[in-house]
Amino acid sequence: MSTLAVLAAFAVLAAPASAATGAKVCRTRVAVVVESPGGFAVGYLYRGDRVRVLRRSADRRWARINTSRELRGWIRSSKLCR
């Protein structure tokens, strides 16, 4: 394995847990949470609900979220604000 590959793998593994950011649902009354972008619904969020954004899709249209109620899934980024 090349040195560059080892450094890249270490950088991914060493990413701080604080990389997740806080946000809330504010651009709609009800937002559907899906298992994967374009997938089946696994729950709903309502205006004012706080979420933790774990990551975003490559095109930044979807956000992987987690809630205090342990609801995990993907939501359209356009439904979120800080």
> Which of helix, strand or coil describes residue 23?
strand
**For position 70, which CATH number holds?**
2.30.30.40
Looking at residue 73, its pLDDT comes to: 97
> For residue range 39-48, what is the model confidence (pLDDT) as tens digits?
999 999 999 9
The residues of the chain scoring below 50 in pLDDT are: 3-18
Q: Is the pTM of this model over 0.85?
A: no
Task: Determine the pLDDT at residue 15.
Answer: 39
Predicted local distance difference test score (pLDDT) of residue 17: 42
Note whether residue 67 is domain-resident: yes
38-48 in b/e burial notation, b at 16+ Cβ within 10 A? eeeeeeebeee
Could you tell me which residues are beta bridge partners of residue 73?
A: 65
d(CA 56, CA 63): 4
pLDDT reported for residue 19: 62
Residue 30, domain extent: 18-81
Q: What are phi and psi of 7, to 5 degrees?
A: -65, -40
Total domains, the chain: 1
